Amino acid sequence: MLGKARLLKVYMGESERYKNKPLYQYLVHWFKEKGIGGVTVSRGIEGYGQDKILHTARFLELSSDLPMILEVIDVPEKIDPLIPEVCSIVPKGLVFTADIQVYKHGKE
Amino acid sequence: MLGKARLLKVYMGESERYKNKPLYQYLVHWFKEKGIGGVTVSRGIEGYGQDKILHTARFLELSSDLPMILEVIDVPEKIDPLIPEVCSIVPKGLVFTADIQVYKHGKE
Amino acid sequence: MLGKARLLKVYMGESERYKNKPLYQYLVHWFKEKGIGGVTVSRGIEGYGQDKILHTARFLELSSDLPMILEVIDVPEKIDPLIPEVCSIVPKGLVFTADIQVYKHGKE
């Protein structure tokens, strides 16, 4: 997938679930099964989304629901057809893409 | 804010303060008050900026001043007018934008 | 470096080493020596790359090899000539660039 590629970013809450799994874990496996080249998950320490509710790691609470960020990378022909289904799996989060230029992917 | 949108990223030190608050917390509230669609804060583990001083989580120090990263997302018409004020609030950090394509934002 | 700039992102495993150092630490120093404007390192909590092996922080293992993400920012004339050498230093990771617009860099 060297050359022009697509970065897909998906933001969701850590506590969101899908089919009895944390949503972010479900998505990582889902992208892997679809043969997508690479996925990286990060946990934010604070944030808010469309509902304007601030989630933060500053207060120790059981349900802190911190932001989880997925970075998904592959060629546009593999990323773009998956976007509608990603949007329906992620009920409240943010989904966006950016155009990137890939110079190296594993041992390719 | 579906369609063409702007990602604004702001990098600063964890120990920087503004109006008696950690700078990154001040900014999250400030963007929220301005009605910006979404903000996510992450903490890096190492980094340097224009002053070329390396900050790292590898040595346990009281004032490690790790990098804090804000990702701010909304339409260009809402992000762009705020940039000059963001630059004046963030005295030493890095501020940049990238063009993105938003496919989902909350329940929209 | 205000104006059009380049974001270079490099993904690698936490346990990868280069010249007796963790690879990510080696790269931070290498970019600093090359005079690159700014570098930020983050640690992901889960991910997979070209070899499709899932690394995760969910299971406590000695060699969890979590994803490390470098964000490197400077003007294209300084970033682009370094890319071939970065690709050769990073044997298995992902290397990509994106075009950004820088509004502030330190006290500039």
Q: What is the pLDDT of residue C58?
A: 81
Mean pLDDT across chain A, nearest whole number?
A: 94
Per-residue pLDDT at C52: 92
Indicate the length of chain A as a whole number. 108
Sequence-distant (6+) residues with CB within 8 A of C32 are: B48, B52, B54, C39
List Cα–Cα distances, C85 to C25, C78, C101, in angstroms. 16, 13, 25
Q: Is the pLDDT of residue B59 over 90?
A: no
**What is the mean pLDDT of the segment spanning A10-30?**
96
> What is the reported pLDDT for C29?
97
The whole-angstrom distance between B28's CA and the closest CA on chain A is 8
Token pair listed for C56: 């995760």
Q: Which residue has the higher pLDDT, B25 or A57?
A: B25
Question: Which of B11, B48, B92 shows the shortest C-beta gap to C32?
Answer: B48
Pair A8, A81: CB distance under 8 Å: no
The mean pLDDT value for C8-33 works out to 96
Q: Which two tokens stand for residue B64?
A: 């490690």
Chain B residues closer than 8 Å to A47 by CB: 28, 38-41
DSSP E strand boundaries for A1-108 = 3-13, 17-18, 21-22, 38-43, 46-48, 55-56, 67-74, 94-105
Tokens at C1, concatenated: 């470096």
- Of B49, B46, B36, B32, the C-alpha closest to B5 is B36
Strands B46-48 and A55-56 turn out to be unpaired
ipTM of the complex: 0.94
Q: Which of C5, C41, C100 sits opposite B45 (nearest CB)?
A: C41
Query: For B66-87, what is each residue's pLDDT tens digit?
Result: 999 999 999 999 999 999 999 9
| Cβ proximity of A69 and A42 under 8 Å | yes
Q: What confidence category does residue B25 fall into, taking pLDDT thresholds of 50, 70 and 90?
A: very high
Over B34-98, what HEC string results?
CCCCEEEEEECCEEECCCCCCEECCCCCCCCCCEEEEEEEECHHHHHHHHHHHHHHCCCCEEEEE
- pLDDT > 90 fraction of chain A, expressed in percent and rounded: 86
Alpha-carbon gap: A6 to the closest alpha carbon of chain B (Å): 11
Spatial separation of the C-alpha atoms in residues A22 and A13, rounded to whole Å? 9
Work out the percent of chain A whose per-residue pLDDT is above 70. 95
CB B9 within 8 A of CB B95: yes
Count the residues in chain C.
Answer: 108
Q: Where are the alpha helices (DSSP H) in B4-82?
A: 23-33, 76-79
Q: Are B88 and C91 in contact (CB under 8 A)?
A: no
Q: What is the pTM of this model?
A: 0.96
Q: What is the 3-state secondary structure (H, E, C) of C36-68?
A: CCEEEEEECCEEECCCCCCEECCCCCCCCCCEE
Q: How far is A73 from chain C (nearest CA, A)?
A: 9
C chain contacts of residue A10, beta-carbon cutoff 8 Å = none
Dist. CA B32–CA C24, nearest whole Å: 34
Question: Over the stretch A33-85, which tens digit does the pLDDT of each residue have?
Answer: 999 999 999 999 999 999 999 999 887 665 578 999 999 999 999 999 999 99
DSSP conformation letters of A41-52: EEE-SEEE-TT-
Identify which of C39, C98, C104 has the shortest CB distance to residue B90: C104
| Lookup: tokens for A83 | 């976007």
* Residue A70 C-alpha, separation from nearest chain B C-alpha, in angstroms: 13
Cβ proximity of B39 and B72 under 8 Å: yes
Residues of C in contact with A24 (CB under 8 A): 46
CA B99/CA C11 separation, integer angstroms: 22
| A-C contacts at Cβ under 8 angstroms | 78
Q: pLDDT for C34-78, tens place per residue?
A: 999 999 999 999 999 999 999 998 876 655 789 999 999 999 999
Q: Which residues of A4-19 are buried (b: 16+ CB within 10 A; e: fewer)?
A: ebbbbbbbbbbebebe
Q: Could you say which of C25, C40, C98 has the minimum Cβ distance to residue B11?
A: C40
pLDDT score at C1? 86
Closest A-chain CA to B14: A45
Rounded CA-CA distance B46/B54 in Å is 7
